Amino acid sequence: MGTTGTGGRTPLFDDLVEVLKEEIAEAEKKAQREAEQCASDNEIPLKNKEDEKDFYDGRRWSARAAVVKDCLKQILKFRGYLSETYRAELREKKDWKPPKWLQQKGIDKRLRNTRFYDVFNYLQAHTLRPDKGSKLAEEKRLGKYMSGNKESEYVLVLPDYADIEALLSLKEQTIRLYISRFVDMGILREVGKDGPRGRKIYAIGFWSHYGEGGSKRNMFLKETPHMKDMLRKFTVRDEGGRLAEAIRKVSANKRGPGS
């Protein structure tokens, strides 16, 4: 289905907008007729033209608001229908397969009791290509990933919360909690902001290049004793504080003794 207009709108979107406009127009006409009937029957005393205008405008506004609210409810129901009926089709074409070390006892079971894999899979599937990431990094002066004396470009991702919410049926607040946990654990790094509203830019790893134009992603989610310890205690809300304690241990080890 091709796009038309701006912002990637499709004919389906334009058709829905037209239907909404027609529904609003019909509801306003009905409200106007009912309001005129009330006025002619003196059910509502209208002293002057200003009162009359306010009365009619208010009735039309109420009718318009009712249509828009109902439309939003139907859209949410339809989104739920798509998520449930076409779950397989909505999955990423190239799902991320957890490495073997994540399948160790105590880690895989813990993560499968959460939406860790789903959220991480979405983020890794929506990283920017090296050329686009390099351009954004230059525009926003994001800096580079340093490993010893060697610097590399970050693998960047800009989470689209509405898209994640629709695909994973998670509330935006919950998605933000997951991303916050990923940052705390070093799985993601907040490297900058984009746009006037300060949309956060995250790095999920760094690029290494080989041969003629070859590129490989190196994720920050990698096998280390500390990472495995944090994953065994992974939880979104961390009400018992076990994950926070594991994260503090990692931070302390990075600082070293006596620092």
Among 90, 113, 132, give the residue marking a domain's end: 90
Domain with 245, as residue range(s), is 100-255
**Same domain assignment for residues 117 and 225:** yes
**Same domain assignment for residues 154 and 247:** yes
Buried b / exposed e over 218-256, threshold 16 CB at 10 Å, is: eebbeeeebbbbbbbbbbeebeeeebeebbeebeeeeee
| Domain presence at residue 2 | no
**Same domain assignment for residues 109 and 223:** yes
Q: 3-state secondary structure string, the chain?
A: CCCCCCCCCCHHHHHHHHHHHHHHHHHHHHHHHHHHHHHHCCCCCCCCHHHHHHHHHHHHHHHHHHHHHHHHHHHHHHHHHHHHHCHHHHCCCCCCCCCHHHHCCCCHHHHHCCCHHHHHHHHHHCECCHHHHHHHHHHHCCCCEEECCEEECEEEECCCHHHHHHHHCCCHHHHHHHHHHHHHHCCCEEEEEECCCCEEEEEEEEEEEECCCEEEEEECCCCCHHHHHHHHCCCCCCCCCHHHHHHHHHHHHHHCCCC
Q: What is the pLDDT along the chain (259 residues), one digit of tens a residue?
A: 444 444 557 888 888 899 999 999 999 999 888 888 877 766 666 667 777 788 778 888 999 999 999 998 888 888 778 877 876 666 655 567 888 999 888 899 999 999 999 999 999 999 999 999 999 999 999 989 988 788 899 999 999 998 898 888 889 999 999 999 999 999 999 999 987 677 899 999 999 888 777 888 999 999 999 999 999 999 887 666 677 777 777 666 665 554 4
**Same domain assignment for residues 75 and 161:** no
Q: Alpha-carbon distance 183 to 203, whole Å?
A: 10
Residue 27 near residue 66, CB atoms below 8 Å: yes
**Same domain assignment for residues 34 and 124:** no
Side-chain-side CA neighbours of 72 within 13 Å: the count stands at: 5
